[in-house]
Amino acid sequence: MADRPAYKRILLKLSGESLAGEQKFGIHPEILKQYAREIKKIVDLGVELGLVIGGGNIFRGISKAAVEMDRVSADYMGMLATVINAMAMQNALENMGLFTRVQTAIPMEQIAEPFIRRRAIRHLEKGRIVIFAAGTGNPYFTTDTAAVLRAIEIEAEVILKGTRVNGVYSADPEKDPTATMFTELSYLEVVKKGLRVMDPTAITLSMDNKLPIIVFNMGVEDNLKKVVLGYPIGTKVRG
């Protein structure tokens, strides 16, 4: 395996659902440890890492109640769920001896720093992992859009989206065994084909800023490291 990273600074996007493992919701401690081990491998290569985690694993447990709520309130609850996941991941990473900071789009000084772009970049330059939580701080925007926005703000070279499958498929591979995987796509192909890479707002923002996206299976050992080293893992989306 090559030892020179293809990227100096990246933004890693993880789904909240993946933290639940085989459980329907909540946080599985072994998944946290597994992800922390994989992240340590790329930080040890000298890669500067920003991290965004969704909140689906926690929000799913209260989703029935949220059905009767207005969209804005439900979205804010989802943002708070991402903060819980960020704190859990922070603890797992620090148990591996890594240095981290959590920055939130909604001020909550007792547990995290507010998101300040220059401060985030300074943390990255010092080798700290910065975990961005609470989305964009605004309702109606997904954590995918928040991940792209933060990636642009910290001047990341690429977004790595860790999923439970090997890349982007023509259909859901967990439901359709005939689904075929794409190795490379353009932003426009993603939109035209209606592929579930990220939501349309996130894809458009990536396209406007020429920010490539690589979708890969985070659950396979060393996959994250291989992607960072430039191996052809997963699906690459670019112009």
pLDDT tens column, 61-94 = 666 667 778 889 889 999 999 999 999 999 999 9
Using CA atoms, how far residue 177 sits from 32, 82, 173, 174, 198, in Å, is 29, 32, 6, 7, 22
Which tens digit of pLDDT belongs to each residue from 202-239?
A: 999 999 999 999 999 999 999 999 999 999 999 999 98
In a domain, residue 1? The reply is no
* Prediction pTM value: 0.94
In a domain, residue 176? The reply is yes
In a domain, residue 4? The reply is no
In a domain, residue 35? The reply is yes
Encoding tokens for residue 210?
């020429």
In a domain, residue 218? The reply is yes
Please give the tally of structural domains in the chain.
1
In a domain, residue 95? The reply is yes
Any idea what the Cα angle at residue 187 is, between residues 143 and 19, rounded to 5°? Answer: 30
Mean pLDDT for 103-116 is 97
Q: What is the CATH number of the domain that holds 41?
A: 3.40.1160.10
- Domain region containing 163: 9-238
Give SS3 for 68.
coil
In a domain, residue 3? The reply is no
Q: What is the largest CA-CA distance in the chain?
A: 52
In a domain, residue 44? The reply is yes
